[in-house]
Amino acid sequence: MSEQNKAIARRTYELFNAHNLDALDEVVAPNIVDRNPSPGQAPGLEGVKQFFSMLYTAFPDFHITVEDLIAEGDKVVARVRVNSTHQGEFMGIPPTGKPVTQTGIDILRLAGGKAVERWGEFDTFGLMQQLGVIPSQR
């Protein structure tokens, strides 16, 4: 079961990288519960699609690299790195043209071949420093 769940998680990240939000229905349950939603994110799969649509507008070259993928039982943990360039408005921040890298951890709980629950922790502070919104300590 763990290998199957890892394959579903990999497929999810592949779809995000392809910017193919319509195909997310294959791997994400319509009523997925996001335990760490972004501000203003609607619930369920529609909220996930809304959030990623906003990301693709702000960061058109958005790309996730899975660094580690660990599965046990019904959960998959992914350590990821996101590379992109800030080319559109993001959460009220005008485009800076800056390349950015953000790291994070996602935990997906799967049931019936789909993600039904998600927890995520991403280095948003570091992202804001790279965008120049928060001063760097260096």
CA 16, 37, 126, 106 torsion: positive or negative?
negative
Q: Which domains does the chain have, with CATH numbers?
A: 2-131 (3.10.450.50)
Stretch 66-89: mean pLDDT: 98
Cβ-contact 108, 16 below 8 angstroms = no
| Mean pLDDT value across the chain | 96
State the pTM of this model.
0.93
pLDDT tens for 90-136 read 999 999 999 999 999 999 999 999 999 999 999 999 999 999 999 98
Confidence of residue 137 (pLDDT cuts 50, 70, 90): confident
With H, G, I as helix, E, B as strand and everything else as coil, classify residue 131. helix
- DSSP states of 36-64: SPPTTPPSHHHHHHHHHHHHHHH-TT-EE
Structure-block tokens of residue 136: 């760097």
Provide the percentage of residues in the chain whose pLDDT is more than 70: 99
